[in-house]
């Protein structure tokens, strides 16, 4: 398949638009009009444009930190791109992304990533969503030769091959990962040979020939649309500029001036293609007209950007969340024709309904089941799902809705994020909470940041379920309480309910929410029974604490699994005629400051109990906020009970008193009184 008549001239136009845009960007960078870093795609235009021309308008793209060329190659307007480089309000990402993070949903650019290999799982997830929704949309994933050594590359290719996902992986092999050559970093420098190991075709093409790249990409797109799965294309190209324009690299040059100049003379993709077009009989006047048109468009883009205002400080928090406390409650939605950026009406409290007794784990499973019945966009993915309460879900919904993942936590988390961007509402079950560290790159650098960095262009409605093990003697690598780790990350909501009714209501809210939500459940609560509303629309608002018991003398604030020894302590203290109020925050981020302050106003004393390590835990945050906002209400200093700043031991004799116990809590209350 070759470029047709229109595409031949369009290929020249788009390559030239990339080149002139980058050249003008370098001038503006030198004049201090562009802040930050500036990575150009000069020399790599053919690899970009050839691949993009093989796509439809509704096909998606993920890219790299060398991000300017991809949206231009897909057909984006230059004005908003140049404004983004300058950090202006009219930038394509409202000045939130900048040079390395262009995204333009109007032409299908899902995201570009400053994290090497970060976009590969996202592209895989977008393709996963397309396959599940029954549309013939294809996703094209650009990455460099350095990303081939990342785990995300290998894990994603394995999953794409396993499920025959409609994704094309295109490696822009410019020979160097910053200053490290392919020869220095690849045991097998022929990157395309990795493809057969994952059961997919691999092709190496001349990345300086737009026609050669187009032919390979068009064949891969045809294959993907036919349901035959992914393809790996390696386009051997060359970047003419330094890795980062303006970057001075000390020491011995990693490539010689002669090498660079030789490529510029003999392998400039634009000059090569111009010669091809003239040899094929294209009138030179047509090419000159395109050149003039591109020059004017770039000048107009610069004018637009320079005239555009900077974002105002009062807009700093714009685009952080789809809606900070909105809970979505639409009825069942069709599988096709999904409005992937839509939100639904707010419903923050359920009507009174009959209750039934069930365990915490049963309520959690029930919440997922009801939401999967309600909305066909909800899918569940994770490792060994049947082990953590998923057997009933597998039996009910089957393989199209329940996905057992390979042990690739980082990449299947990224796959879930990409699927959320492209129309699904995934629940990613990370099994043991300690495994969330492996997924943290994708959660932090992609899920939490992309909405903000794209200026609100994308939404990521996704739930990460993390079970905090606590059956005993699991040792440090399985017994962590990692929730404080994520408290410092903007863009995430974090819940940790402690009752059966609360896990059902908050899990449903999390699934319906328009933003990433982490659910940390304590396994020692799984067997606890309680009354749970039967109403399928029983939802509890994210961000609202609950008073588990009212009292007048002391406020006990218990987090997650600490609720059990706390309630035991309260029962004992009641016999001593000590009246204790128990607050369960339920949501750790955002915290319900008002509810905590209201309780302190009543009791004047606060003890915070949690199983997280002492340094920088949730109790630290609550104590700091209450010292700032409720100091005049406190009769005594705030006390915090927590695990010590030591890893969880294996031996029962060391573990028995590791987390706060009933006796610890009673002693703390007596001390305050």
Encode 320-367 in three state secondary structure.
CCCCCCCCECCCCCCCCCCCCCCCCCECCCCCCCCEEEEEHHHHHHHH
- At 336, phi and psi to the nearest 5? -105, 165
User: Does pLDDT of 346 surpass 90?
Assistant: no
Question: Under 8 Å CB-to-CB from 196, ≥6 apart: which residues?
Answer: 202
Select from 89, 65, 260 the least CA-distant residue to 146.
65
- pLDDT (0 to 100) of residue 111: 86
Residue 590 C-alpha from the chain's centroid: 19
Q: How confident is the model at residue 387 (pLDDT cuts 50, 70, 90)?
A: confident
Query: In whole numbers, what is the pLDDT of the chain averaged over residues?
Result: 91
Q: How confident is the model at residue 250 (pLDDT cuts 50, 70, 90)?
A: confident
User: Does pLDDT of 201 surpass 50?
Assistant: yes
- d(CA 657, CA 648) in angstroms, rounded, equals 11
User: Does pLDDT of 516 surpass 90?
Assistant: yes
Taking residues 306-318, what's their average pLDDT?
94
User: Does pLDDT of 334 surpass 50?
Assistant: no
- pLDDT (0 to 100) of residue 398: 87
Select from 169, 52, 128 the least CA-distant residue to 426.
128
- pLDDT (0 to 100) of residue 333: 32
User: Does pLDDT of 383 surpass 90?
Assistant: no
- ∠ CA 589-590-596, nearest 5°, is 105
User: Does pLDDT of 113 surpass 50?
Assistant: yes
Ramachandran region, residue 382 (left: φ > 0; alpha: ψ -120 to 50; beta: rest): left
* 459 catalytic residue (yes or no): no
Q: How confident is the model at residue 476 (pLDDT cuts 50, 70, 90)?
A: confident
- d(CA 418, CA 120) in angstroms, rounded, equals 9
Tokens encoding 595: 């509810």
Q: How confident is the model at residue 324 (pLDDT cuts 50, 70, 90)?
A: low
Question: Under 8 Å CB-to-CB from 113, ≥6 apart: which residues?
Answer: 62, 63, 64, 65, 100, 101, 119, 122, 445, 446
Q: pLDDT by residue (tens digit) across 15-70?
A: 999 999 999 999 999 999 999 989 999 999 999 999 999 999 999 999 999 999 99
- pLDDT (0 to 100) of residue 434: 87
User: Does pLDDT of 537 surpass 70?
Assistant: yes
> Is residue 658 classed exposed, middle or buried when 0-12, 13-18 and 19+ CB atoms within 10 A define those classes?
middle
Name the least confident of 243-257, 487-501, 530-544.
243-257
Residue 579 C-alpha from the chain's centroid: 45
Q: 78-90 burial, b for 16+ CB within 10 Å, e for fewer?
A: bbbbbbbbbbbeb
Q: How confident is the model at residue 352 (pLDDT cuts 50, 70, 90)?
A: low
2 contacts 215 by C-beta, under 8 angstroms: yes
Q: What percent of the chain has pLDDT over 90?
A: 79
Catalogue all structural domains in the chain, each as residue range(s) with its CATH number. 5-308 (3.40.50.970), 355-533 (3.40.50.970), 546-672 (3.40.50.920)
- pLDDT (0 to 100) of residue 119: 94
Q: What is the pTM of this model?
A: 0.93
Q: pLDDT by residue (tens digit) across 624-654?
A: 999 999 999 999 999 999 999 999 888 888 8
- pLDDT (0 to 100) of residue 642: 95
**Checking DSSP bridges between strand 180-181 and strand 176-177, what pairing results, if any?**
antiparallel
Query: Is the model more confident about 171 or about 387?
Result: 171
Residue 189 C-alpha from the chain's centroid: 31
> Is residue 645 classed exposed, middle or buried when 0-12, 13-18 and 19+ CB atoms within 10 A define those classes?
exposed
556 contacts 662 by C-beta, under 8 angstroms: no
- pLDDT (0 to 100) of residue 152: 94
- pLDDT (0 to 100) of residue 351: 52
Taking residues 411-438, what's their average pLDDT?
94
Question: Under 8 Å CB-to-CB from 569, ≥6 apart: which residues?
Answer: 556, 580, 662, 663, 665, 666, 669
Taking residues 121-136, what's their average pLDDT?
96
- pLDDT (0 to 100) of residue 389: 74
Q: pLDDT by residue (tens digit) across 558-567?
A: 999 999 999 9
Name the least confident of 45-54, 264-273, 332-341, 405-414.
332-341
User: Does pLDDT of 337 surpass 50?
Assistant: no
Taking residues 65-91, what's their average pLDDT?
95
Ramachandran region, residue 536 (left: φ > 0; alpha: ψ -120 to 50; beta: rest): alpha
CB atoms within 10 A of CB 181: 14
Q: What percent of the chain has pLDDT over 70?
A: 95
- pLDDT (0 to 100) of residue 181: 87
- d(CA 114, CA 110) in angstroms, rounded, equals 14
- pLDDT (0 to 100) of residue 1: 78
- pLDDT (0 to 100) of residue 328: 35
User: Does pLDDT of 329 surpass 70?
Assistant: no
In the block, residue with structure tokens 């109990």: 609
Among 77, 341, 355, 478, the active-site one is 478
Taking residues 586-604, what's their average pLDDT?
96
- pLDDT (0 to 100) of residue 347: 37
User: Does pLDDT of 307 surpass 50?
Assistant: yes
């Amino acid at each position: 398949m070759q470029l047709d008549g229109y595409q031949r001239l369009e290929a020249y136009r788009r390559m030239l638009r990339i080149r002139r845009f980058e050249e003008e960007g370098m001038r503006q960078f030198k004049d201090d009009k562009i802040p930050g870093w500036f990575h150009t795609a000069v020399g790599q235009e053919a690899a970009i444009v050839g691949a993009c021309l093989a796509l439809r308008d509704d096909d998606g793209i993920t890219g790299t930190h060398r991000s300017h060329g991809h949206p231009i190659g897909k057909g984006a307007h230059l004005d908003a791109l140049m404004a983004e480089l300058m950090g202006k309000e009219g930038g394509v990402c409202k000045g939130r992304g900048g040079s390395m993070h262009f995204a333009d949903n109007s032409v299908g650019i899902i995201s570009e990533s400053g994290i090497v290999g970060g976009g590969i799982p996202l592209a895989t997830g977008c393709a996963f969503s397309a396959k599940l929704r029954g549309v013939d949309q294809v996703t094209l994933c650009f990455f460099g030769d350095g990303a081939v050594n990342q785990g995300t590359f290998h894990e994603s290719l394995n999953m794409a091959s396993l499920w025959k996902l409609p994704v094309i992986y295109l490696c822009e092999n410019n020979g160097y990962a910053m200053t490290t050559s392919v020869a220095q970093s690849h045991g097998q420098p022929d990157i395309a040979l990795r493809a057969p190991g994952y059961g997919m075709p691999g092709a190496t093409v001349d990345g300086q020939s737009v026609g050669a790249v187009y032919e390979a990409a068009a064949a891969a797109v045809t294959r993907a649309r036919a349901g035959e799965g992914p393809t790996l294309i390696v386009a051997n190209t060359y970047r003419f500029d330094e890795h980062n324009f303006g970057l001075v690299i000390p020491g011995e040059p990693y490539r010689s001036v002669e090498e660079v100049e030789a490529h510029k003379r003999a392998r400039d993709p634009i000059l090569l293609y111009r010669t091809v077009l003239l040899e094929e009989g294209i009138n030179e006047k047509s090419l000159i007209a395109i050149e003039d048109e591109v020059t004017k468009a770039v000048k107009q883009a610069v004018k637009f950007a320079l005239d555009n205002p900077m974002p105002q400080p009062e807009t700093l928090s714009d685009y952080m969340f789809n809606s900070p406390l909105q809970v979505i409650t639409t009825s069942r939605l069709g599988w096709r024709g999904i409005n992937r950026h839509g939100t639904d009406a707010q419903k923050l409290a359920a009507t009174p309904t009959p209750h039934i007794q069930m365990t915490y784990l049963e309520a959690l499973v029930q919440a997922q089941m009801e939401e999967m019945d309600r909305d066909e966009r909800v899918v569940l993915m994770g490792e060994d799902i049947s082990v953590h309460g998923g057997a009933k879900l597998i039996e009910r919904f089957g393989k199209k809705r329940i996905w057992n993942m390979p042990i690739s936590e980082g990449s299947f988390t990224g796959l879930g994020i990409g699927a959320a961007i492209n129309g699904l509402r995934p629940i990613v079950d990370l099994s043991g909470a300690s495994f969330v560290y492996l997924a943290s790159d994708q959660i932090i650098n992609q899920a939490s940041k992309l909405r903000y960095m794209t200026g609100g262009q994308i939404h990521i409605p996704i739930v990460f379920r993390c079970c905090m093990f606590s059956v005993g003697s699991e040792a440090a690598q399985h017994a962590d309480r990692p929730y404080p780790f994520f408290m410092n990350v903007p863009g995430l909501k974090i819940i940790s309910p402690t009752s059966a009714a609360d896990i059902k209501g908050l899990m449903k809210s999390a699934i319906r929410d328009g933003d990433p939500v982490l659910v940390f459940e304590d396994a020692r609560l799984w067997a606890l029974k309680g009354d749970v509303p039967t109403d399928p629309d029983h939802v509890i608002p994210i961000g609202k604490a609950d008073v588990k018991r009212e009292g007048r003398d002391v406020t006990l604030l218990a987090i997650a699994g600490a609720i059990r020894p706390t309630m035991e302590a309260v029962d004992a203290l009641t016999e001593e005629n000590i009246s204790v109020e128990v607050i369960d925050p339920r949501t750790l981020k955002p915290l319900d400051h008002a509810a905590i302050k209201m309780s302190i106003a009543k009791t004047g004393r606060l003890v915070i109990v949690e199983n997280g390590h002492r340094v920088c835990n949730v109790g630290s945050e609550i104590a700091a906020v209450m010292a700032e906002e409720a100091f005049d209400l406190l009769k005594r200093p705030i006390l915090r009970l927590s695990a010590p700043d030591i890893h969880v031991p294996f031996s029962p004799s060391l573990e028995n008193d590791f987390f706060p116990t009933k006796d610890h809590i009673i002693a703390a209350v007596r001390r305050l009184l």
